[in-house]
A and B are shown apart, each in its own frame.
Chain A
Amino acid sequence: MKRHLISAADLSRDDALLILDTADELAQMADRPIRKLPTLRGRTVVNLFYEDSTRTRISFEAAAKRLSADVINFSAKGSSVAKGESLKDTALTLEAMGADAVVIRHPASGAPHRLAGWVRGSVVNAGDGTHEHPTQALLDAFTMRRRLGRLEGLRVTIVGDVLHSRVARSNVLLLQTLGADVTLVAPPTLLPVAVSSWPCEVSYDLSAVLPKTDVVMMLRVQAERMNAAYFPTVREYSRRYGLDGARMALLPEHAIVMHPGPMNRGVEIAAEVADSPRSTIVEQVANGVSVRMAVLYLLLGGSDPAGDPGGDPAGIERPVSDLAAALTAEVTR
C-alpha cells in the first residue's frame, strides 16, 4: 500500500481487499468486552478538521483510540483562509509534534495532496472539497459486501449531486477497482461535463435503472445547489430523483439502500425508505469505525514511529494473519 490514502485511485484491488478483510477481522472485536488493541500504542494520530463533520471525526477518533493511538483533535475551521495560519504552517507544526498520521477534512479539493508534500507522516483524506472521500467509499464497499456477499459484478446506482460529491468520485473509482458496475443517475446539471470519460454508465432516469440495481446509494442534496439553477425546485428534484416507497418497490427484492449521511429526509430519500429494513444507513456508521481502524492499522502498523531514525517511510502490508494473531493475543491476555 502507498504511504498515504488520498484518493480511492491510490488503492490497487489487492490493497482494497486487504483493507476490507482487515476491517472484517476488526469488526469482530466490536462484540468483545474489551474493544481495544495495543497495535498503535505510542503513535500519534492528528484529526485535522477544517470543516464541521462530527460523524467523520468521531469515527476516525474512535478508530484510532481502539488501536491505542494517541489522538489529537485539531479543529481548524476557517483558519486557513484569510485569517490565521496557512495550511503549510499548520503542517510544519504537526510535523514538529511528531504526528504519525494526519487525518484531514478540508473544504478545498486537493488539500490532502498538498499536505502530503509537507509532512512525513501518513495523510488520510477524510473528505476534500468536491474531490474525494476514500474511507467513505471503503466503508460503503464493506457494507455492500457484508450485506450482499460480494462486490464483483454488483450493480450499484449512485443518485444525485455527482458534480459536487466527493463520495461519488471515490465510490466510482473504488467500485471500478473492485469489479462492480456503477451507474450514475442525476439531472444533467449535476453531472461533470466529461462524465462520459468516467468508468461507469450514466442515466437521467432513476425509475428505469432501479429494477436492474443491487445497491442504490442516495447522495445528499446541498442546500446551496437549490438556489443556483441546478434544478427548478426541491419538489421537482424529489419527484424525479428522490427515492420514495413507490420507487423503492421497483428494486429487486435483495437490493439495499445506502446514504452517506447526513440525510435530507423528504428530499432525496423518504423517511419510510431511510427507516426500512433495506436501509444500511446506521450500519454504514458502525462499519465506518472498522474500516478506518483497518486503514490506520495498515498505514501505520508496519512502520516506525515518526522521527525514529532509520524508520521505513513506506507503509508495510501486514498480512491479515498477523492481525489475527494480535487479536488472539489480546483476547487471551
Chain B
Amino acid sequence: MSDSQRWLIRGVRPAGGEPADLLLDGGLIAETGPGLSAAGAQVLDGSGLIALPGLVDLHAHLREPGREDAETVQSGTEAAAIGGFTAVHAMANTDPVADTAGVVEQIWRLGRQAGLCDVQPVGAVTSGLNGSKLAELGAMADSAARVRIFSDDGRCVSDAALMRRALEYVKAFGGVIAQHAQEPRLTDGAQMNEGEFSGLLGLTGWPAVAEEAIIARDCLLAAHVGSAVHICHVSTAGSVELIRWAKSKGWRVTAEVTPHHLLLTDELAASYDPVFKVNPPLRTRADVAALRAGLADGTIDCVATDHAPHPAEDKETEWPVAAFGMTGLETALRVVHAAMVDSGQLDWAGVADRMSARPAAIGQLSGSGAPLHGRPLAAGEPASLVLYDAGARSVVDPALQVSRSRNTPFAGMELPGQVVATFLRGEPTVLDGKLAR
C-alpha cells in the first residue's frame, strides 16, 4: 500500500477531547497538537468532528466463500469502512467452512486484495461446524492468517467435553474460544425470545436460560483448565450477571454485545417482519438496560456487530422460515452513539475503548509484533482512525447501504451521527461519507 500521501487533519477532537491537528505520514500518526503545518500534505478540515481509533469488529459474517449472493469480502469490507471499521473478524460459517489453514488463508488474502480494512479470519472449533471433532486449530494458528479466535458461531459447541478440550488445546498458541452460547435442546425450533410476546404471537420461544446455562458452564470450564473464553453476542440480563461474577473471580472471560441488542426489543416481532429475526433473539427492555449497564461498567468488554447479511428472498417470507440475522457494520457506531452516548452511559473515550482498544486486544491484532489496531491517537501510533460527525442525524435507508444485503433492522429509524472519513494506516478508505476507492 502506498504511504507516500501525507494527510493533515485539522481541528478534530481525538476521542471527543480538545481539538487538535493530526498529521498522518508513512502509515503512522507523525504528529499531534494544535496548529500543525505540513507542506504538501492533503488537508482535511475536521473541525467539529470526533476522531476515534479505527473500529475493530470481533464478529462479522462476510459470507465468502459460499454465499456471495449475500456478501463478499469486497462488499463486506466496503460496509465495514463506511461504518468506520479498520479491522473485522470474519466468522467461520462459510461454505466451505473456515476449518482448515487453506480456507482461512483464502479469506485473509481476499481481505488483503480488497484493502479496505484488515480481515482477520476466525477459525472453526470443530470440523464442518459439526460439533463432534476438533478442527486443525494449530494449523490455522500457524497459517499466514494467524488465527487466534476460534468459533463455531451460528452453532454452540454444546458438548461439554469437546468444549473443555478446545479450551485446553488453544492454550498452546494463545488462542481464545469464542462461544455462541445456545443450549440446543432448550432452543429446538426457537424463533424469538421466550416471554410475553412469544406466547401472544405463537412463535416458539428461545429462553434466556439456554444462553445463561452455557455461559455458566463455559466460565467454569475456562477457569478449570486455565484458558480464555470469549462469549459472543451476550443478550440477557442473567448473562451479564454471570460474566460479572466470573470476572470477579479473575477468570479469563471476555464478552461482546451487538448494537441491535443495545437498542431493539422483542416486541418488534409483533410485526412478524423477519428483518427483526436474529439469533440470539431481541430480548426485553430489562435485558437491554442490563446490557447497556454491563457495557458501561466493562463487564461486557466490547461491541461486535454480528453483521449477518441475507438476500431478500431469505427475509421476505413467513417468520418461521426466514433466516436469522441482521446487517450491522454500517450502523454500529451510530447505534452505539444512540444507545450509550446519548443515554450518558459512555463518553467518546469509552466508545473508543469498547469498539477499538478492547476488541483489538481480545483479537490480538498485531503485525510483526507491534499492535496494528486499537491504539490511542498519539504520535508514533498506526494512522488507522475514523472521523465522526456526532451532530448529524439521518434516517437509515437500506437502499443507500453498500453491503450487498439490505436486512437492516434500523431501516426507517432516525439515528444520530455520520462517519465522515476512515483511514487505514494513513490511507483514506472513506472520505465525505463515501468510499474513497
Contacts and interface: CB of A to CB of B under 8 A. Distances in A.
B202 A131 contact: yes
Residue among B191, B196, B272 with the most chain A CB within 10 A?
Answer: B272
A17 interface: no
Interface of A: 80-81, 86-88, 106-111, 113-114, 128-132, 163, 166, 169, 192-195, 197-198
A129 B202 contact: yes
Given A113-B272, A114-B272, A193-B207, A87 B317 contact: yes
Nearest to B197: A194
A195 B320 CA distance: 22
A106 B319 CA distance: 12
Nearest to A87: B318
30 contacts: A86-B317, A87-B317, A87-B318, A88-B317, A108-B320, A109-B191, A109-B203, A110-B201, A110-B203, A110-B318, A110-B320, A111-B318, A114-B318, A114-B319, A129-B202, A129-B203, A130-B202, A130-B203, A130-B204, A131-B201, A131-B202, A166-B202, A169-B200, A192-B199, A193-B195, A193-B207, A194-B195, A195-B199, A197-B196, A198-B199
Which label, helix, strand, loop or mixed, suits the secondary structure of the A interface? loop
A198 B196 CA distance: 9
A25 B43 CA distance: 81
Contacts of A107: 320
Given A193-B195, A197-B196, A86 B202 contact: no
A106 B316 CA distance: 16
B328 interface: no
A95 to B, nearest CB: 15
B319 A110 contact: yes
Contacts of A131: 201-203
Contacts of A193: 194-195, 199, 205, 207
Interface in B150-208: 191, 194-196, 198-205, 207
Contacts of A197: 196, 199
A80 B272 contact: no
A253 to B, nearest CB: 35
Given A129-B202, A194-B199, A109 B319 contact: yes
A231 B74 CA distance: 52
Interface in B307-359: 313, 316-321
B10 to A, nearest CB: 49
Contacts of A111: 318
A229 to B, nearest CB: 10
A109 B320 contact: yes
Contacts of A166: 202
B347 to A, nearest CB: 37
Contacts of A80: 317-318, 321
Contact of A81 (B195, B273, B321): B321
